[in-house]
Structure 1
Amino acid sequence: MTQPAQWFRDEIFNGLARLLVLRLPSAPWEEEAEYTQQTWIEVLWAAPIGWDQERDTQRIRAAFNRLAAGADRWPAPRQMLELLPERAQQRRLPKPPMSQAKREQNRARLREMMAELGIQSTRGDRNA
């Protein structure tokens, strides 16, 4: 397992610090806070998510905001994961442009391959 990235450590540290301020029942003692933070970081980093700074920073913050708004006791890391919003869909790359010459070359090669396999086209010879 790789070591947690610094941005991830910072986000978990900040989120837990905000929860500690709430003084929720079952919250760790001050002496336990550092160990608690390290445990959360390790547990969450090991989750099968493939954490990515660009895609997950805001998600982590939102999950901690949801925890802070709804928790009546000190939460477990699992509860943070349950409140993690879905990742935004990444924009798809546009189809690469293809020249008419390349398109015709591809069609000709496809016809050759189909002929070699003994397959007859059911489309006719359209320019689709």
Structure 2
Amino acid sequence: MSKPLPPETKWLKSVVAQGLARLIVLGLPGRPAEEMAKQVATVWVEALLFKFSGWDEKLDRKRLEKAFMQLCCDCDKFPSPKLLLDCLPPRDIVCLPSPKSEPLSPERQAELAQRFQELRQFLGQASQTRRITP
């Protein structure tokens, strides 16, 4: 058959196996025989990894579980991996925490004020320089 799945995909195979078990229990037309469920799960995981290699348990477990539940609700016949991907909700957007702003010390304020003054002087001198156009 195919090569063994990488160990980091163990969670993915577990989610797929549970989802397929639900679909098989529904008795939908075209379902695989129960004794083939393990091989079917392996093929589904291989298909998912072929389409997208960046699966992440924290970001994708709940999405896959929701997609399988959607298939359980909507399908009249046993689905393909493509239908699972079509039902897959988008990943949640992970926001960075707000930066912590600490008040500036008087020394830092003076240092920044000096730098701004130097910058103003530099920009003032640069604006007074004339360009010579050929």
TM-score range, shorter chain: 0.7 to 0.9
- Structure 2 equivalent of residue 124 of structure 1: none
- Structure 2 equivalent of residue 80 of structure 1: 84
Secondary structure of 1:100's aligned partner: coil
The aligned length equals: 121
Tell me which amino acid in the other structure corresponds to 1:92: L
Which consecutive unaligned segments of at least 5 residues does structure 1 have? 122-128
Taking structure 2 as the reference length, what is the TM-score of the superposition? 0.70
Tell me which amino acid in the other structure corresponds to 1:26: G
- Structure 2 equivalent of residue 70 of structure 1: 74
Q: Distance in 1 between matches of 2:125 and 2:71?
A: 61
Would you say the 8 A contact 1:24–1:74 is kept in 2? yes
- Structure 1 equivalent of residue 131 of structure 2: none
1:22-73 deviation per Cα after TM superposition (whole angstroms, max 9, x unaligned):
1211111234322211000111133326222122221111100000100011
Taking structure 1 as the reference length, what is the TM-score of the superposition? 0.73
Matches within 5 A, 1:8-23: 8-23=12-27
More displaced, 99-108 or 30-39? Answer: 99-108
Q: Distance in 2 between matches of 1:72 and 1:21?
A: 13
- Structure 1 equivalent of residue 29 of structure 2: 25
Tell me which amino acid in the other structure corresponds to 2:94: Q
Structure with bigger gyration radius: 2
Q: Distance in 2 between matches of 1:76 and 1:86?
A: 19
Which consecutive unaligned segments of at least 5 residues does structure 2 have? 128-134
Percentage of matched positions with identical amino acids: 31
1:78-101 deviation per Cα after TM superposition (whole angstroms, max 9, x unaligned):
110111112222232111324424
Q: Distance in 2 between matches of 1:114 and 1:46?
A: 57
- Structure 2 equivalent of residue 126 of structure 1: none
Matches within 5 A, 1:1-128: 2=6, 4-48=8-52, 50-101=54-105, 102=108, 105=111, 108-109=114-115, 112=118
More displaced, 70-79 or 105-114? Answer: 105-114
Tell me which amino acid in the other structure corresponds to 1:20: I
Q: Distance in 2 between matches of 1:66 and 1:42?
A: 21
Would you say the 8 A contact 1:62–1:84 is kept in 2? yes
Q: Distance in 2 between matches of 1:80 and 1:60?
A: 8
